[in-house]
Structure 1
Amino acid sequence: MMTTKPVIQTGISTFVYASPFKTADFHLLPKIKAAGYDIVEVAVEQADLIDWDLLVSMTRDLGLRITLSGAFGPRRDISSDNAAFRKEGLDYILTCIRLAEKTGSPLFGGPLYSAVGKTRIVPVEQKRQERAWCLENLRIAGKAAADHGILLGVEALNRFETDMINTTDQALALIAEVDHPALRLSFDTFHANIEEKDIPAAIRKAGALLLHVQANESDRGTPGTGHLPWTAIRQALDEIGYQGSVVLETFGEPSEELARAACIWRPLAGSADEMATEGAAFYKRIFT
């Protein structure tokens, strides 16, 4: 067991402030830095709305790092029974891999395997076929990620947002089946609070495969205001020697599609600024 705390940097997702994030929202970057974050996690909803060169320049000048996360609607579903949607999903992942390399993001993460909000009861044979399509596309994505020096983070979602990967065990099984070193685990404590019996134990089980942590509260509100076992979560991260980042990913003003997929029906805090500043202060106490 480690006796010293590894260095963990903290970040905040653009989802907190804007959806979709675009060049006109770059005025938020100094605010993110002033709140005390090390990282801005850019949720890539519409890549063509973002001036990526300017983003790289501004974040470099501010001393902010970038990580990238995905937004997976029905047309970006690599396990869809619609071949055009599978292709669009894979093309989107490949685009985000290239953007990760361009921006210096070490990773691209999210529910890479399916569309958010896809929840059904289907025959076993259909599930088997969907998984086969998923595996085929993740292997292609894994190779591309390795070619660009990027890692991919598979994120489990709760049962109300996907019927495919809900638990750490399921995510690790998918990663093992893909069997590519570029594929790792991205862990979201909000989803884990619904699906895991013991969040720190799930972190320990992930071990060296844990790539990225989205440290979200039990109700997806301001971190520290709910009932998650934050001290035990930090202890578990210390025990596995985690040296990645922890990022606040919740939704201040979600788009209609995102709100429906993630079931966001009410404000999660007094304001995005309140959530960001109070979240940063809480992260500093727990993680740094």
Structure 2
Amino acid sequence: MKFGVNTFLFTSPFTDESTGILKMIRKIGFDGVEISLENVGDFDYGDTLKALKDNGLVCCSVCGFFTGDRDLRGNQSQQDTSKRYIMECIDACFALECDLLAGPFYSAIGRARKETEEAKEEQWRAVVNNLKELCSYAQKRGVYLALEPMNRCATDFMNICGQAIDMISDVGSPMLKIHLDTYHMNIEEKSAPMAILDAGADLFDIHVSENDRGTPGTGSIDWKGIRDALVRTGYDRYVVIEAFTPEIPVGGLAASIWRSTEKSNVDLARKGLSFLKALFAE
């Protein structure tokens, strides 16, 4: 199994100056980095690719940052804004020699409210149509898009793996895949291992953190069940630590992190990776 870490654990936003963290990430023992592209122009793709290679790392995925007007089910202006941003993220993937854009790109994070059935159907159609266009764009660049279901406080649109499976069916593109997160699954799924098995070969990314969004292996998540499900599906992509600490204000605020779960983000990364390597070595 290959292991990666999301840049939110160490910095937000990721900029040209952030490439300095790559040496530390490699020294900890990670194989790849999931880079969050918060704003177009935050960093130079070519320089970042060189820094990754210089440190023996790969960009295992680009993580979209969906707030404000980046909303594929919003008004027309919001849909257009989101599509332009997602296309830029796809271009970033291509430039970084990465084949995956992951995240909840169906809507803006934090849009969570009661909707009428009519509104739900209209929004679903809008996302389907937009994703068809985006998947066509992504296919020309060899980039997959992986939908991430999120918990009920983050979105009312897609909370469980089954909804992502339905979206893939409706869009009908081989480029649309699934991205699962142990934190969100712990809240929404009846069984995280079963959700992984349901995703099957369409699972292209998995974020791992504990039930408190801290260090994997320190809480109540069913790690052996998750490991066994990943092995059964033949998952051979990256297991990515996406955790947050109050040390990184933007990421921490977005994740509602108000207290420290470790002495530092470096401790979290080291302990989490050590746990995961031991888990998958059993």
TM-score class, shorter: over 0.9
How do 1:45-64 and structure 2 match up within 5 A? 45-64=38-57
Match of 2:163 among 165, 170, 190: 170
In the alignment, the residues of structure 1 paired with residue 163 and residue 124 of structure 2 have an alpha-carbon distance, to the nearest angstrom, of 12
Query: Which residue does the alignment assign to 1:73?
Result: 67
Structure 2's unaligned 5+ residue stretches are none
For 1:103, the aligned partner's letter is L
Query: Which residue does the alignment assign to 2:13?
Result: 20
* Alpha carbons of structure 1 residues 254 and 123: separation in structure 2 relative to 1, 3 Å: farther
Match of 1:112 among 91, 105, 109: 105
Query: Which residue does the alignment assign to 1:198?
Result: 191
Equivalent residue of 1:184, what SS? strand
Tell me if structure 2 keeps the 8 A contact 1:215–1:246: yes
Note the C-alpha offset of 1:262: 2.8
TM-score when normalising by structure 1? 0.93
Q: Greater relative contact order (Cα 8 A, min sep 6): structure 1 or 2?
A: 1
Q: Hey, which bits of structure 1, 4+ residues long, moved more than 6 A? A: none
Equivalent residue of 1:47, what SS? coil
Tell me if structure 2 keeps the 8 A contact 1:119–1:161: yes
How do 1:247-266 and structure 2 match up within 5 A? 247-252=240-245, 253-256=247-250, 258-266=251-259
For 1:75, the aligned partner's letter is D
Match of 1:242 among 231, 235, 258: 235
In the alignment, the residues of structure 1 paired with residue 102 and residue 212 of structure 2 have an alpha-carbon distance, to the nearest angstrom, of 21
Match of 1:138 among 107, 117, 131: 131
Match of 1:279 among 262, 272, 275: 272
Query: Which residue does the alignment assign to 1:4?
Result: none
Aligned length: 279
Equivalent residue of 1:75, what SS? coil
* Alpha carbons of structure 1 residues 172 and 124: separation in structure 2 relative to 1, 3 Å: same
In the alignment, the residues of structure 1 paired with residue 72 and residue 44 of structure 2 have an alpha-carbon distance, to the nearest angstrom, of 27
- Which segment is superposed worse, 92-101 or 247-256? 247-256
In the alignment, the residues of structure 2 paired with residue 268 and residue 165 of structure 1 have an alpha-carbon distance, to the nearest angstrom, of 28
Matched, 1:182 2:180: no
Tell me if structure 2 keeps the 8 A contact 1:161–1:262: no
In the alignment, the residues of structure 1 paired with residue 117 and residue 12 of structure 2 have an alpha-carbon distance, to the nearest angstrom, of 36
